[in-house]
Structure 1
Amino acid sequence: MTDSPARIRRERAAEMAARAVEHSGMLLLVSGAPGMGKTHLLRDLGARLSESKRVHYVAADEFEQTIPYAFAERLLSSGITEDSTIAASAQTLEVARRLIDGLVGAPRGEVRTLLIDDAQWIDHDSAKVLRFVIPRVARRGVFLTVATRSIGERETLGGYLQEYAGASTVHQHVRLEPLTADDIRALALERFGAGISQRTARMLREASGGSFLGIEALFTGVTQSEIRDLHLTWNLPIRRASLPESPFLAGFATLSPAGRLAVEVASVASHEISPRVLTLVGEELGEPIDADEAIAAGALTESGFGTTVATAHALVASAVRDVMSAERARRVNRALAEVTDGYASITHALRGSNEWSPDLERRVDEYVRSTLAQGHLDATYEILRASIAIATGAARERLITDLGLLNLRHKTGFAVLDLFDDIAALPPSAVRDCLVIVLLMYRFEQEAAQAKLQELLMRPAEDPETATVQAFLGFIAMIMVMRSPDPAIPTELAALCRGLWANAPEDPSALSDQRLAWMVGPRAYEAVMDGYGIVALHLDYRNSEVEQVLPTLVERAFALPDTDLKIDALVPLAGAAVAIGDVRLAHTIAETGVGILEKVTTPPWASGSIRFMRAHTLMLLGRVPEAATITDLARELSYDFIDVETRMTFAALHAWIQVVMGRDGGAAPLEEARRLGELGWEVYASDIVTVVECEAARAAGDGHGVLAATSEDRVSRYRNTQRGFLTYRAHALIDLGRTDEAAELVDRLAEQRGTTWQETTGTLAWLQARLAEARSDADVADRLYREAAEQSEELSPLVLALTLADLGEFRHAQGDHAAAEDALRRAVGLLEAIEAHAYLPSASDRLMRVTDRDRRERERLIEALTAREREVARHLIEGSSNAQIAETLFISQATARFHVSNVLRKLGLARRAEVASVLSDGL
């Protein structure tokens, strides 16, 4: 996700203000359509420079644009001079000099700031004055910021300022563009502390015209209760009443009727169309149409060397559609339906119809069957939506049921929440009740859903359809249990579900209503329930029982057909594997599930969880770059997952990755992730926010921050946790010299190892080694460090790298500089390989200290050797024997032995082979 545009603009304002002071003034040209935030940027600049008390804000007025020197008089009256009147006979040069005299002459180091807004309305004579003034004051202690909607030709003021700014390395031109969907998502996250989906952002963009003012109006209309629930909901409410007029209608309004018709047709079509289609539509309507005029005015654009035309911007099309009357839009749609075919034709036919007809119903049914067979779900949804808008009676009820079942099947029930009342009003049936129950889940109205669910599950099944719906809802009942404070499946529910699955058809051909065929799968439901059953075991830390049953359940789940239910069966098994510390098995399970996800046409209920588990286990395994790639992709999808908690767990994982990789941008997603605590159920990796806070504090060398993050009141609520955060806490206590507390905690972790504490973020041996070192027990520390390094090889490159860094520091303190350098070089290499840049500076500094000391030690030893002994040492490094040394140096072997003995003695070595390791670099 991109940075918040508001933050980017604040930073840009700060940068420009500093730039103006640094260069003793400058010109800043700000351009953009109405509502893009030009005035906000100007006022931000003024606020940043207001300490000088020499800031002037002046806005031009449209009605004054024909009055000579009207704007110049406004400038003078803003406090630049005492006399602001301008005689009617005044000349350009005279007015310009009055402005220059008033603007320049600020005390050294001060900058006078002139903020000119709505410059497009400046009268001609004042524009001439400004063209004369600006080059003469812009670098003489004057910061001029000019905001305008349009640049215009070179001879206009806007065109001149653009050229003037572009010719300088000091002056700047900033163009404010309409907000993108990603910009709006970033703004929502900054404003509300919770993210929104791409789909919602696109709807907001269309409604607002992509303007800052429009988005601000929409955001202001959101209530506090809606903000509180935003992390659970699927859409942000759009209340259009408060929206300003679209900035994209100005050009459209100036066109002739023929030019406007061309834009209307392109806007209604919502895609590129050929000039021939435009002409045919005009003929159908009996009205003249002129695409060339609309193209010349910039409302339409050509592509494909003139083979197609489209609106200049999608927001233009949205704005034009909003101002068209309903009857006008229907007429254009009917004309388009006659001259197009396929999806476009039926879409326009529906939008142009006043009433439902048998012929229209036949066309819709044929089209829906065709698109479903081809897997074109979006087109199917749109056609059904358009049909529901005009159908009546039984036809409308059937279409609503069709749309509801399709979205239920594809886990996009949030897309039909607006039809909830219509669905609830359908004639009584098991299918109707099933839709209502699942939509209540999407609305997080669990009590109402459970009441209706209980009634439906106990209802006698008089036909295969009811039995199939009951079997499916038995599975839904398990999901609801997993989203409760106590996610253990009760024995009574398990028995009820098994009975329902036994009564349900196993072959879809037994159903007369094939819309329900996808619900058939009782054996797969049973496998999912058995997988969920293991959750209660590891939440109670009965890990030995988990270890006993997990292999059988994994084998059974792997044997299922590759369907969405197989993925749902794998998710709790991956969670159980992490709970017992087998992260590699968990990753294998999650990787398998994600692989199936790419094959199935129907997503699982846990589509977000399986993706998160894959990324999370990669992070636990220290495969940081891979985890980063997967997380970036999955976060874009997470706002459409039925398992909404993954929005927040992915946000936390993103923050964790940002911290380890030493990047900015982790604060906002971490703040979003903190809303995990507001959920009413236990989630996988429920402690991830605390782990991220610990990682951030440790990377910053903030031991107290780690202790605050892991205080008892913060962590006591966790059940689904491996308590990896306690590893960070033990390290922090050692770093802070609180060895008694550290020893007590490490002893406790030793007792809990493999049950309520797993070594996912570091080994017990590592902690014990650091504790022994802190207590000056070098022999024990040496043994434990070796054990920790060996165990960490199997755990994670990050954990191994940090262990090796501590080992290197320990070896260095013990005087074993060669071993210290080796450990630290390995640590640095590992950190570079996994891009853990947060820890690289510290490890590199440690390595530098060791190598610098070794270099100084070598220099001292070399200085202690005589010239002849240095020659002998060189030959020893090359592996020469005494005889070879004697022959090369023309000395006797006895003399050679004497020199070799002196070299070894001065270097403090016992064997000649060791000389190379001590002096190779120095000689």
Structure 2
Amino acid sequence: MFVGRADELAVLVDALARAADQEPQALLVGGEAGVGKTRLTEEFLGEAARRGAVVAVGGCVEIGAEGLPFAPFSTALRTLLRLLPGELAAAAAGQEDELARILPELGETPRGPHDEESTARLFELTARMLERLAADRTVVLVLEDLHWADTSTRHLLAYLFRALGRGRLVLVATYRADDIHRRHPLRPLLAELDRLRTVQRIELARFNRGEVRRQLAGILASQPDEAFVDSVFERSDGNAFFVEELVASHESGCRTGLTESLRDLLLVRVEVLPDAAQRVVRIVAEGGSTVEYPLLLAVSRLGEDELIEALRAAVGANILLATADGDGYRFRHSLVREAVSDDLLPGERARVNRRYAEALEADETLIRAEERVIRLANYWYAANDPAKALPAVLAASITARRRHAYSEQLSLLERAMDLWESAPDEVREALRPADYTEVYPPCGCDPASTPLQRVDLLAEATVAARYGGERERALKLTKLALRILDEDGGDPLRAAWFWTERSRLIANLGRGDGWQEIATAQELVKGLPPSQVHADVLVRVAGWGMLHNPGPGNLAAAERAVEYARMIGAEETELNARITYGCLLMDSGDGATGLAELHEVKDRAIARGFTVVAGRAHINITSQLESMGRSRAMGRSREAVELAEQGVQLVSKARLLDTEAWVRGNMAESLYSLGRWDEAAEAARRTLHVGHGAAPRGSASARLAYLALARGELTEAAAQLAAAHAHFGTHDSQPQHRIPLFRLAIGVAEGEGRLADVRTETAQAIAYGFPLGQHRYAWPLLLASATAEADARGLPGTEEGRAAALEALRTAARTLATPAPLWSAHSEYLRAELLRAEGRDTVADWTAVETAVSPLERPYLLARVRHRLAEALLGSGGDRDTAAGLLRDAHATADRLGSRRLREDLALLAQRARIPLTPDETRPAAPAPDTDPIEALGLTSRERDVLRLVATGSTNRQIAEELFISPKTASVHVSNILAKLGVAGRGEAAALAHRLRLFTAPAPQP
């Protein structure tokens, strides 16, 4: 009888209905052991099956400290493969080798690639496969006993809960709440999932007395005696499983003598079994959550008839159950298994585990191949046999690595290091790095003949920790390894390898820029013969220099890295070094040679299947094309977008998520330049969705800030600038990141009328410096500062310091390169803005700028220049028809781009000059002598007077005194003005009024 839980079942059934509308559902079901989680799940699955859903259940396996990586997902997917073979094959098409890491039936698991994005790629592929599988049918996945889940399973579950966006999928996970102590690894996951609005959490409470009464009636098939109800309810405290056990004990005649100890209660029914059945039950308890029948037959050493009789007795007593597939046996409830296991003597436990291990070694067919290595490692470890356990644990670590279960690999390697000293010498000396490691530092020795060392395990564990996202742990492992190497007299190549790892980790953790560590590694390899480590160090030195201190000096380091990689035949390392070399060539001014080098590397990497290198080539080529601006032949930004699209297709298929984020970020930058702003915004937002690393996310936020600034959305621009700062942090100041942030800060400050902050940010940027190759970021920064100075000319308090600020801009500009027409145009534009800031600009100055910018595919830049040229023409009494054409063209561009700020600037200038902006617009009437064009903004006469005083810097009290009104009334007027102008503060309102020349004489009229 299904007792209670009506509300909880209704929540699950409602999720089923929601999923049918292509809205994936995620639920967590928690409760103490024995409270009825499985019973509720079974009732829900029955209802789901009646409604035509495809259901699959997978349980987390408790076989040791690590568990089986992805065990519940493997089991559930195996069920789906059996029920929907064609559909699952279609959903996994093209990615079978990667998905085989979770479902081995899909094919051979490849040996690589391994990197920090490997797990993310696997998770993304799993999510997309489930979405495709659930596109046309409702699929229900239940993962049981999450409290036993391995780390990889927890991470995958968290990813699916966040990432599933479509499909008729219901994902339910159950866990034992009373096991989740403060340090339990599931606790942080539950806290994280609680913050997701898409996840529903169901907590099962114990039964009340009425529910216990109904449960007893169902068990006994009659109404129970009220005294018996009271006794059972008091002793079970409403726990459904304890109720069943008490009834069973009562019916078996054990009505007295039961202690209140839970363990004793659970063991009562085991102890009344025949001896052979008790023996089998104890063997099953040590085998794991489920034990296959052939394995049990081998371990029990009973005849088959005798084993079947023993199993029949255990199943009849409701202690064991046959598994759903009929291949093995498990305990009806995990509490009973735990009680039986705890009741074993230490020597007895070791002996049973040894038998399991010996049986698996004797016959590989007893269990599934993908489970054998890890279970064998756990059995030997529990058997307290270091000689057997050490190689078994190391073999299991390799299996975990190949499944991208890096956290489990790390745990196994740490277990191997614990076993290291206790294992016999002859066992350790027989181990070879070639057999048990995959990131063995190549130190000039043969990994197939050299004995494995503990420091080799530390190297493997360091990379496993980094790939698994545990960088703090990885950093501690490198420290331990370097101490061991120092105590042993030092091995310079191994030490250099660990220092290189530390450099990467320290930069990723925000502890520094990693230079001190990589410099130490460089010093260690000096004078040594060429090696993989030496080449890697040189590549990192050159790469660090390219990002942090661009200059010709890094070319030599890049050339040495290429040379060393070629000497040792490390083709992938060579191609990486050549990317750095090509970028440095371009930064040094040899754009054609550098670009050709990068394209050659890209094509070769694609041909050789080096997808990570090919992705990096796409990142750098698209970035460099944008930096080159425009050649005589074609627009480089357009070329960059086309190449970025190819790069996204390449790396997204390989699920190189951070690489994809970088390529999309570069695409967003080029789309912005081309005036395809909606596409640029989508590319930047996609970057934030795809990227995991801080740097690509920071760049995406900066791109969104640029867009918001250009559109006049200052609040959004400031928010995205703050997000970019948060992503980049302060520990690793790279010019390609830092200079754009200075430029954005200048733009936000200018828009808010904070000229003093504009000057401060500009001074800091100039002091920071513009290294070689950074002209692409420096020219827009100087231009933004000069524009702010020009727009602020005449505002109160802006003259002091102006001359010094303009001279600083001119001096900085003289240090910058103009290697392409785009940057020559910026130089011309900057010169004109500096003259405008001094009131000395002419039509000729702006004509020269317009001539330089017109051939470029930079519509927003051109519209701004044409605004200034039209303003100069109208201010000097020049050709009104030419000015009108410029204004209309610029206004159409601003309207298409959605640049409210530029559109308003142009509209006000056109109104002052009485020029219609569209063909069907009537010519504005000449303003009356006592009116102003400011009325176009919807301000009343009184609000115009208040704004005039705000523009001079007056306070509310000063405004009140000037206009003979109360300070409160002045405050109300100011608030209304800010709302009508769409600005956030008084400074921004003052800047807008001055920028639009609202209180200056109209342009000359014909």
TM-score w.r.t. the length of structure 1 is 0.47
- Give the alignment's TM-score, normalised by structure 2: 0.43
